[in-house]
Amino acid sequence: MRIGKYAIAAAMAGVSLAAQAQERPYEIKVCSTSESTVIDKAGEVTILAGVSRGIADSVAPGGPFDKTSFECRGVTNASKAGVDYNSRCTFVDADGHKVVGTTAGTAQGWTWKFLGGTGKWEGIEGGGTGKSVGQYPRLSPTVSAGCGIAKGTYTLKK
């Protein structure tokens, strides 16, 4: 009978491990254009609202979030002390499945947190960090362009 109890315990442990979500890595290159509008000014502090639209490619071809398009909307605070921002972003893949997340950062880099998803991304959790890898010439005083590398981990809980 003891063998039976151990077998049942081992089988239950295997079930609980299989039910846990597996953490998966991602690394993507994102490139976008951003348009900003000044919404307030107080002394040397400028507050801007912005929209960024662009594309993401997995550093490993065919990897997570490869060939997705995205849009982010956010607020930036700029002063002599520096620049910081917060945005909400939506990524969409070729099948129309969406990933929604939030980002916060400075000129030195940003953090990312997954908030949710649809279709194959339903139940997504996790996050990561990113940094700029190049700025491009401004299209106008209010439109900028650039690329960055973002990496981290995610899990899918279904």
Cβ contacts of 153 within 8 Å, gap of 6 or more: 23, 24, 25, 26, 126, 127, 128
**In the prediction, which pLDDT does 16 show?**
40
Using pLDDT thresholds of 50, 70 and 90, give the confidence band for residue 158: low
**In the prediction, which pLDDT does 18 show?**
44
| DSSP code per residue over 65-95 | TTTEEEEEEEEEEEETTEEEEEEEEEEE-TT
**In the prediction, which pLDDT does 5 show?**
42
Instruction: Identify the residue with better confidence: 107 or 121.
Output: 121
Domain annotation covers residue 64: yes
Residue 11, pLDDT > 70, answer no
In whole numbers, what is the pLDDT of the chain averaged over residues?
89
Domain annotation covers residue 42: yes
Domain annotation covers residue 2: no
Residue 26, pLDDT > 50, answer yes
Domain annotation covers residue 89: yes
**CATH, residue 83:** 2.40.350
Domain annotation covers residue 13: no
Domain annotation covers residue 142: yes
Considering its fold, how many domains does the chain have in total?
Answer: 1
Domain annotation covers residue 66: yes
CA distance 158 to 152: 20
Domain annotation covers residue 83: yes
Structural domain boundaries, residue 39: 22-156
Instruction: Identify the residue with better confidence: 122 or 19.
Output: 122
Using pLDDT thresholds of 50, 70 and 90, give the confidence band for residue 21: confident
Residue 15, pLDDT > 60, answer no
Rounded CA Rg of the chain:
20
**In the prediction, which pLDDT does 107 show?**
82
